Structure 1
Amino acid sequence: MAKHKTPLLDELESGPWPSFVSDVKQEAEVRAKNEKGVNYQIPVEVCEDLLGVLELSYNDGETHWKHGGIVGVFGYGGGVIGRYCDQPEMFPGVAHFHTVRVAQPTAKYYTTDFLRQIVDIWDMRGSGLTNMHGSTGDIVFLGTTTPQLEEIFYELTHDANVDLGGSGSNLRTPAACLGMSRCEYACYDAQGLCYDMTMEFQDELHRPAFPYKFKFKFDACPNSCVCALARSDFSVVGIWRDEIRIDQEAVAAYVGGEFAPNAGAHSGRDWGKFDIQKEVVELCPGKCIKYADGKLEINDKECMHCMHCINTMPRALMIGNDRGASILCGAKAPILDGPQLSSLLIPFIKVEEPYDEIKEVVENIWDWWMEEGKNRERLGETMRRMGFQKLLEVTNTKADPRHVQEPRHNPYIFWKADEVDGPWERDVNEYRKRHQR
């Protein structure tokens, strides 16, 4: 019999979709029966009390979690988010309910042995509830007590060979797409770069010293499977700078109906005959595609690398061979002033080990941001406050026309007095002298 009545939570199980409430109830039942004989190190009623405190929050219309202070493991300033219940007498099982972030493998590749190992640790020393994955990418362990934190940390690092992720005002756990391991459009090794940057910046990951959080995300191609340019302060997005390769025979096969568009992704529904003019040419944001007399032409200088034409006709079009990445900065999703996408900083850079050029850009940004950033101010907010041109200066990046989104609307580049030389300067100086007299 359930310890707490939860009529409001029960309603969440009534719809057609899977419910987290069912998962928590299932774990509560498993712990109550303990058929596996797990030596639980936290209160057995943790999941039942979790349901109870959530039901109370729904009834009261306010949360019953409080911060209560900073908690963590020795030597680390991040990785654990302290959580305490403000009704510990009523719900002793969740008097402490700390969240532990665990660094995910790059591109989230696991072995079943690894998953069993970390789940066994969490079954014994935590609530057994996990979130695969948090918005930053981490494996998230939901709910444990303060005495178990050091034990969990030791077993994760020594037995499972995995570290804690980032939390607080530090570098968050870097995340990458599948990259070259699965994707034919990968323009660089996103997994390799993600792993290298994670290992390089361990101090910044575990010891908060920034104005606020800072996220790396690595997309190997413009399809952007980890949404780097929308979700990270420092986005590395794969790109090519030569021409899209075209197989005209395959184009004809798509037009003739021999090949299904979108790699057959919509084959379960009848969308009618493929119309290359409407489905490819007219949907190109750069208006750089032309189809006439059975031949497809692309003006690559105007290409925005949106991937639409390639995704629609993957057997006919392929990315170029001169590959690298663009670096963009400043994405965030604040509550008050709305989301902000990244701004282009480096239009093209080769991504090659040991990645020193990329690391130099990162360190220059951090030096500036740590000096100028206000408390709890993301990089994108510092950029807005101080101007994009300042970011170009601190990263030693030369101004480029591609930094301007719309001419005469939001130009980032302004002339400085010592950069301008011309005969009119003498006239201005003479006028000033006369005016002063």
Structure 2
Amino acid sequence: MAIKHPTPMLDELEKGPWPSFVTDIKRAAEAGKEACADLLGQLELSYNDKEGHWKHGGIVGVLGYGGGVIGRYSDVPNLFPGVEHFHTVRVNQPASKFYKTERLREIMDIWNRRGSSMLNMHGSTGDIILLGAFTEQLEPIFAELTQKGWDLGGSGSALRTPECCLGKARCEWACIDTQDICYNLTQEYQDEMHRPAWPYKFKFKISGCPNDCVASIARSDCSIIGTWRDDIRIDQAAVAAYAGGEIPARGGAMGQGVKLDVQKDVVELCPTGCMSYEGGKLAINNRECTRCMHCINLMPKALRPGTDTGATILVGAKAPILEGAQLSSVIIPFIKMEEPYDEFKEFVANTWDWWDENGKNRERIGETIQRLGLQSYLDALGFDPVPQMVKEPRSNPYFFYTEDEVPGGFDRDIEVFRKKHAR
């Protein structure tokens, strides 16, 4: 099929050294995909008109599921009938996104026959994003996917598809089994994924260590980050080898032969100042360590995480929608994340109950906590504040305690104050 719509503005995006999505769509159009040919035409029109020509699809999906399909229609179907319907189907990815080639071919066979053939590997939540299907094809697509063992991911005001890093499959720093946690949560919360019932979306992201390679602290409503609570393991002989230039910094990632200055590059850059280097020996005050991984990343052969491993649980991250971007806050500094994860699931249930009762429409849990105060959330869960929750020193002097928070009550407190300041 020839390109049937002139696209002078899109053609500009094919110039230069970088790969272009326009070239990919043109290739699919030339292979006979009408949806791709008309998509080019509608996109060109959008660039000319400086407005999108899509309208939201409202309620569209598959029988029994409230999510997994994002409805979209063209508002100029008379001009571009190939994209009159252009629904997106989200397919739940396996933990850590490990695929066999034949499984990917299964999806592409279905999508080439019943959809536009365009897809996104992956969306920011995870999920294989299948772009562009007509309404009448949704049920057949879903049926064929499920026959092959695939399922739809989350969308709408529901639990989004849990996502995790490579974990113990390929990373020596993993303190928790991220893949098992991801799979367990996906299986446990099927109703929450497929039947939206909350104020807004909710995301789990699981990182095996504080390097946080899936950026859970910036993107997830509940971050599960592997950590340890005992001492960092030190190999002093390897420290000496780094100092002598026998082992390059960062395992040679910055270039072979890069000599590490242990005092300048490691000790003086520790964010809490908990390290010292004297007489060729490295010492760490582990009580002051915040597990930032800086020293371990620089000297991976000399330093390793401790052996008493678990996870730090944080809540409340989000991208900028209503209240702007925010990072998640520490709620549980350390928890042993071991199957069947009952303690964590109890925490999740209590968190959802509080959010469901207090959250406004399209308000992420981090925004609810910001609006009502972290103390309100902690009180509801029965948690005491801990130092890890403090983001900055208190700047508002108008903070009042309740009587049960003052030892001996207000009357005793007032009497102590009077005696102290009596003339």
TM-score normalised per structure 1: 0.91
The answer (yes or no) to whether the contact 2:227–2:309 under 8 Å persists in 1 is yes
Q: What letter corresponds to residue 27 of structure 2 in structure 1?
A: Q
RMSD, aligned α-carbons: 1.8
List alignment gaps of at least 5 residues for structure 2: 416-423
Which residue of 1 is the match for residue 54 of structure 2? 65
Tell me the distance in 2 between the aligned counterparts of 1:2 and 1:121. Answer: 24
Q: What letter corresponds to residue 221 of structure 2 in structure 1?
A: D
Tell me the distance in 1 between the aligned counterparts of 2:55 and 2:303. Answer: 54
Pick from 250, 257, 264: which aligns with 1:262?
250
Which residue of 2 is the match for residue 241 of structure 1? 229
The answer (yes or no) to whether the contact 2:242–2:259 under 8 Å persists in 1 is no
The answer (yes or no) to whether the contact 2:182–2:206 under 8 Å persists in 1 is yes
Tell me the distance in 1 between the aligned counterparts of 2:355 and 2:298. Answer: 41
Give 1:138 shift.
0.6
Which residue of 1 is the match for residue 370 of structure 2? 384
Q: CA distance change for structure 1 residues 414 and 256 in 2, over 3 Å: closer, same or farther? A: farther
Tell me the distance in 2 between the aligned counterparts of 1:379 and 1:217. Answer: 15
Give 1:141 shift.
0.1
Q: CA distance change for structure 1 residues 353 and 125 in 2, over 3 Å: closer, same or farther? A: same
Q: Partner of 2:4: helix, strand, or coil?
A: coil
**1:418 pairs with 2:404:** yes
Q: CA distance change for structure 1 residues 248 and 90 in 2, over 3 Å: closer, same or farther? A: same
Q: CA distance change for structure 1 residues 336 and 171 in 2, over 3 Å: closer, same or farther? A: closer
The answer (yes or no) to whether the contact 2:403–2:409 under 8 Å persists in 1 is no
Runs of 4+ in 1 over 4 A off after TM superposition: 426-429
1:325-382 Cα offsets, whole Å, 9 max, x none, are 0000000112453210000000000011100001001000100111110000000000
**1:402 pairs with 2:399:** no
Q: Partner of 1:143: helix, strand, or coil?
A: strand
The answer (yes or no) to whether the contact 2:95–2:182 under 8 Å persists in 1 is yes
Taking the TM superposition and a 5 Å limit, the aligned residue runs for 1:204-243 are 204-243=192-231
List alignment gaps of at least 5 residues for structure 1: 32-43, 430-437
**1:128 pairs with 2:117:** yes
The answer (yes or no) to whether the contact 1:404–1:410 under 8 Å persists in 2 is no
Q: What letter corresponds to residue 28 of structure 2 in structure 1?
A: E
Q: CA distance change for structure 1 residues 414 and 104 in 2, over 3 Å: closer, same or farther? A: farther
Pick from 30, 51, 58: which aligns with 2:40?
51
Tell me the distance in 1 between the aligned counterparts of 2:266 and 2:171. Answer: 22
Which residue of 2 is the match for residue 177 of structure 1? 165
Q: What letter corresponds to residue 25 of structure 2 in structure 1?
A: V
Q: CA distance change for structure 1 residues 417 and 318 in 2, over 3 Å: closer, same or farther? A: same
Q: Partner of 2:314: helix, strand, or coil?
A: strand
Which residue of 2 is the match for residue 37 of structure 1? none
Q: Partner of 2:375: helix, strand, or coil?
A: helix
The answer (yes or no) to whether the contact 2:176–2:337 under 8 Å persists in 1 is yes
Which residue of 1 is the match for residue 311 of structure 2? 325
Give 1:414 shift.
6.6
Pick from 97, 105, 109: which aligns with 2:86?
97
Q: Partner of 2:300: helix, strand, or coil?
A: coil
Give 1:410 shift.
7.8
Q: CA distance change for structure 1 residues 345 and 3 in 2, over 3 Å: closer, same or farther? A: same
Give 1:263 shift.
1.1
Pick from 176, 185, 188: which aligns with 1:197?
185
The answer (yes or no) to whether the contact 1:221–1:238 under 8 Å persists in 2 is yes
Of all paired residues, the percent bearing the same amino acid is 64
Which residue of 2 is the match for residue 9 of structure 1? 10
**1:274 pairs with 2:260:** yes
Tell me the distance in 1 between the aligned counterparts of 2:129 and 2:105. Answer: 15
Give 1:424 shift.
5.5
Q: CA distance change for structure 1 residues 427 and 180 in 2, over 3 Å: closer, same or farther? A: closer
